[in-house]
Chain A
Amino acid sequence: MIVENASTILSVKNLQAGIDGKEILKKFGIEIKAGEIHAIMGRNGSGKSTLSKVLAGHPTYEVTGGEVDFQGKDLLELEPEERSREGIFLAFQYPVEIPGVSNLDFLRESTNARRVHQGLEELDPFDFDDLVREKLDVVQMDPAFLERSVNQGFSGGEKKRNEILQMALLEPTLAILDETDSGLDIDALRIVAGGVNQLSTEKNAMLVITHYQRLLDYIVPDFVHVMRDGRIIKTGGKELALELEEKGYDWVDDLEPTLVEA
């Protein structure tokens, strides 16, 4: 939702980043305010996933230029765990399986890391159990998944639901959803999108990265950005996604950039 006089949560200017010396993000810019849902669309290789990993602080990616301000803090100075504790959340495109680590223990450690940072008390296993069971409803998840190892043997849909469960527990200020819809059937997509919608408030913001317009039928964006070659080349409302769906990415290839760098 677009909220009047909303504060800026994320401001990215002229961001340049890459991997192994190859530049992928080329003077990327975006500004996201509280309450807003932004969608970023683009072909494979346009830099969408790189953007999500750079914002979350993946150490493999090298930032070579630009600024990222997150609620008044220089995000690029922060370690990945500090970004998480400050309120950045990345829902992974491919959530990692961790055999032997119970999902419940992992969720508790993660939730408590954020709580301690916020000056809140750590939750003991009993209180945490109450909290997590309440949050399970957000993604209609079976409590049995708490006892299993993190993501191990989960189906694609179950992994994505587990990501949204983590988001529900961590209550981030900025949630970045990296192709959360890829590989989901329509039922799973509805559940995941429904979970995201329940978590969206006027105090937080979402950056939804997707290849397909379909997701945006369920998570309705305030802004749609089209990425090509490491930068945003066109920005519009939710109708831009429909136009893109209709005309295809070939249309994007021929577009002249309409957006000047932020």
Chain B
Amino acid sequence: MGTTDSQAAGNNPGGNSSKKVNSQRVDYWSQLLKTVTADSDAATGWVGEVRSKATAIAQELALPSTRDEDWRFTDLSPLLDIEFSVAGAIATPGITAADVAIEEAPGSRIVFINGRHSPELSDLSALGELADKVTVSAWSAGHDSVLNATVESNLGKIQTSAEAFTALNTSAVNEVAVISVGRNADIELPIHVVFLSAGTGAIAQPRCLVKVGTNSRCTVVEEHRALEHTDDSDAPYWVNGVTEISLADNAEINHARVQRDTLTAFHIGNTAVSQARDSRYTLTSLDAGARVSRHNLAVSQKGPGTHTAFNGLNVATERQTSDTHTFLNLQHPHGTADHLHKCVANDRGHTVFNGRVFVGQQAQQTDAAQLNRNLLLSSKARVDTKPQLEIIADDVKCTHGATVSQLEDNEIFYLRSRGLDEMAARRLLLDGFVGEILERLPVQSLRSPLATAIAAQIRANS
């Protein structure tokens, strides 16, 4: 079932290379664009410009189909059955701050519901004394804010609207979670950004902007999940999020991204990172939720000596499709990259991984390694993997590989020969497979609950 395809295929970030675009997809997209833009408050000045530019780009596009190279393995047609409306504000969320808090970040949490700031669930009290070093805030178009200049100079600049869903998000951009770290600041307290979503047939478009100044360091934990975490709910909602991250010279961020939307939801997330010289970006990501999920990670190197590390895990059970596309664009010398990506598919689950690394002419002395390991747990599960390495520079060290396997008989026998029964052996191997990624999450309190939840999700139907 697994495919390994290392050929360097053309990349079309617009995801819309086919000339024969189905008119249904054009109409659907056009209607969707109208819906989201009609809802956003009128904005003038630069915000209005950012929106109208994105709208203009989006208008030329359509809902991607599997005929688009970038969407070959991930079918978005289930969206066509739903006429989405814009997710509204929810005045009384029905949960308390304790339901979203993590112990490492008790007073450094900002929460959004359907893309709108929720002051009741947020708690930024611990950041008060760090005010000269870091600002965490919900920026809103048309309101005065000390962050106006930061947002204006970065919003939509790191992730351009060439990608269809980014254009859709930007066309109606209104509220933004902003984390701005100054120069020479070491922020030890993790900053916790929570995006909750709810609403039948509603589309929420969360937006996040992170800017880390020269020589500074911080940790950001970004969570996406349902407001009421009921996995058996059959109310489909759609999250279309964009997170932009800018790292100045020698800056460092440890970023966790955890997506656990309900199994009837749709989740499309774009994370775009710009790395100035000597900066270090680490992402540990988990995509376990949503009926169809797609995470695009695009990292762009803007100077020499950067380090980029990805640790990714996609889990697909029942009829889920869980897709991660990564693109690392290296254009300067002495960059290093380390990418471990894992996928687990059970039941009729389908995981997709596309890991593209481009090493340009100037990117000499690059040292990049990518490994994708896939675990197929049922005969009806499906794994598609496509590592892509494109190298123009001639003095580099780059490796990539992909494996697709079941739980190995030899591994199970080894554990059984040490007294563990077959169930316990399988559980331990599975925990180990996902644990290798989860243990890299920067906050410890998430690791064990996530491991338990994923184990339950995988085992539920096996």
Contacts and interface: CB of A to CB of B under 8 A. Distances in A.
Interface stretch (A37-45, A64-72, A94-102, A236-244): A94-102
A57 interface: yes
Interface in B403-458: 408-411, 413-422, 424, 428-429, 431-436, 439
A114 B417 CA distance: 11
Interface in A74-108: 79-81, 83-85, 89-90, 92, 95-96, 98-101, 105-106
Interface in B59-102: none
B433 A99 contact: yes
Contacts of B419: 81, 84-85, 109-110, 113-114, 117, 170
Contacts of A90: 417
A59 B413 contact: yes
Contacts of A89: 417
Residue among B414, B432, B433, B439 with max Cβ neighbours from chain A (10 Å): B414
A247 to B, nearest CB: 35
B409 A101 contact: no
Size class of A's contact patch? 20 to 34
A80 B435 CA distance: 26
A106 B428 contact: yes
B428 A109 contact: yes
Interface string B345-359: 000000000000000
A84 B419 CA distance: 5
Interface in A153-173: 166, 170
B266 to A, nearest CB: 30
Contacts of A110: 415, 418-420
A100 B434 contact: yes
A182 interface: no
A170 B422 CA distance: 19
Size class of B's contact patch? 20 to 34
Residue among A57, A58, A80, A114 with max Cβ neighbours from chain B (10 Å): A80
A160 B432 CA distance: 21
A96 B416 contact: no
Contacts of A83: 417
A58 B413 contact: yes
B435 A100 contact: yes
A100 B429 CA distance: 8
A15 interface: no
A60 interface: yes
A192 interface: no
Nearest to A109: B420
A199 to B, nearest CB: 16
Contacts of A84: 416-419
Nearest to B433: A100
A30 B350 CA distance: 51
B433 A57 contact: no
Contacts of A166: 418
Nearest to A83: B417
A101 B416 contact: no
B406 to A, nearest CB: 14
Residue among B413, B421, B428, B435 with max Cβ neighbours from chain A (10 Å): B413
Contact of A98 (B413, B416, B429): B429
A83 B431 CA distance: 25
A159 B424 CA distance: 22
Residue among B416, B417, B422, B432 with max Cβ neighbours from chain A (10 Å): B417
A139 interface: no
A56 B436 CA distance: 29
A49 interface: no
A149 interface: yes
Nearest to A105: B428
A101 B432 contact: yes
A100 B436 contact: yes
Residue among B409, B424, B432, B433 with max Cβ neighbours from chain A (10 Å): B432
Nearest to A176: B417
The 6 closest A-B pairs by CB, nearest first: A100-B432, A113-B419, A100-B436, A101-B432, A110-B418, A80-B416
8 contacts: A59-B409, A81-B416, A98-B429, A99-B432, A100-B435, A109-B419, A113-B421, A166-B418
Given A98-B411, A113-B418, A150-B432, 19 more contacts: A79-B416, A81-B417, A81-B420, A84-B417, A84-B418, A84-B419, A89-B417, A100-B432, A100-B433, A101-B429, A101-B431, A105-B428, A109-B418, A110-B418, A110-B420, A113-B421, A113-B424, A117-B419, A170-B419
